[in-house]
Amino acid sequence: MFQTGTMKLESGKRIKGMMQVESHDLKLPVCAVCGCKEGPVVLITAGIHGAEYIGIQTARELSKELDPKEINGTIVFLLVANPQAAFSYTRLFVPEDGKNLNRAFPGKKDGSLSEKIAYTIEHELHSQADYYIDLHAGDTHEQVMPFVYYPGIAREEVMEKSRKMAQATGMKIRVKSSAATGSYNYAAIEGVPSILMERGGGGSFTNEQLASYKRDVVNVLSALGVVSKDREEEKDNIQNEVVNAVYTDSLAEGFWHPAKQPGEWFLKGDLLGTVEDVWGTPLQLCHAEFDGIVLYETTAMGVREGDSLIAYGECRQLS
């Protein structure tokens, strides 16, 4: 039976409480829903990047809407992993230490706040989960197309279970990650099948986007046998897998002008965007290395050297 701190679930009950961060006075909001029947523990986290609000709202609403009587197992929601960023509209970082929480895993018990949060999530939540869904979005300066990552660095059986979770979302694009960093990647390395979902951005969302995100999550829960609902997919949905991804950063301080939009297909050699100096002189021309699709891009015109500009992928179509 799942337990963190003094929170202990009982069959058929919904419990909410605050999880104490290791060696710190910060507490994080957790809601856990225990079904009336036995089943796996599914962890769902949101707000690792605090201004990615659609993930937070998806978790908040589903944690209230899912009925324990219709659940097999336990669903644990960490509603906001990085609360001060969420409350202060801070992109990417934990305000207290200026670090990217998603790059802090596995964390440190005696580290900075980001490292302590990561340590707590790993030891209190990852360690008790059978499956893991991490909800993200384009941040305040980004827009993303709806897509899902699954880990590419883990045991083969963990990667395969994660791939099936990604497929179950119904999203049209999935990406096999080559990274070892991030909450979901670290959980997978430790043996927990995991995915990271992306949708929306710009620090806002529509009711339609929110409904779609909730549908994506419930699709996975249904495929895992945790909820008794039929999966809902978009019409003519064929999922494509990104077999090669390029993440382009700015080589100079300047002004970014994208030529394509998230979700837009392009051909090898197409111009994807330009960084210019204040006089309009091109400093960096971003041309596509292959035929593919834009996954996400920054919407901020002003960029610094090293800032993310655009991510795109080469796809293969799957049935």
> Which pLDDT value is given to residue 277?
98
Q: How many Å apart are CA 63 and CA 135, to the nearest integer?
A: 13
Q: Are 195 and 148 in contact (CB under 8 A)?
A: yes
> Which pLDDT value is given to residue 238?
82
- Render pLDDT for 116-132 as a digit per residue (tens, 0 to 9): 999 999 999 999 999 99
- Render pLDDT for 176-233 as a digit per residue (tens, 0 to 9): 999 999 999 999 999 999 999 999 999 999 999 999 999 999 999 999 999 987 666 6
Query: What's the whole-model pTM score?
Result: 0.95
In the numeric block, the tokens 């919407």 are attached to 299
Which class for 292: exposed (0-12), middle (13-18), buried (19 or more C-beta within 10 A)? Answer: buried
> What is the average per-residue pLDDT within 246-260?
98
> What is the average per-residue pLDDT within 41-48?
98
